[in-house]
Structure 1
Amino acid sequence: MKNRREHSRLPLSIDVKISHPLFGEKVVTTKNFSEGGLFILAEPSELPPVGEFVDGQVQGMADEAPIVRMKIVRMEGDGLGLQYVVSED
Structure 2
Amino acid sequence: MSDKRQFVRTPFNCRIKIYHESIGELMVKTRDISDGGVFVILDPDKVPPIGSVVTGQVQGMPGDAPVVDMEVVRAEPDGVGLKFLREE
- TM class by shorter-chain length? over 0.9
Cα distance in 2 for residues equivalent to 1:80 and 1:26: 13
TM-score by length of 1: 0.93
TM-score by length of 2: 0.94
Percent identity for Structure 1 against Structure 2 = 43
Structure 1 runs of 4+ aligned residues shifted over 2 Å read none
Cα distance in 1 for residues equivalent to 2:77 and 2:23: 19
What are the superposed Cα offsets for residues 12-61 of structure 1, whole Å, 9 maximum, x if unpaired? 01000000111221000000000000000011321211010000000000
- Give the unaligned 5+ runs of structure 1: none
Q: RMSD over aligned Cα, in angstroms?
A: 1.0
- Give the unaligned 5+ runs of structure 2: none
Cα distance in 1 for residues equivalent to 2:55 and 2:44: 16
Q: Indicate yes or no: 2:13 matched with 1:13.
A: yes
Give the conservation status (yes or no) of the 8 Å contact 2:70–2:85: yes
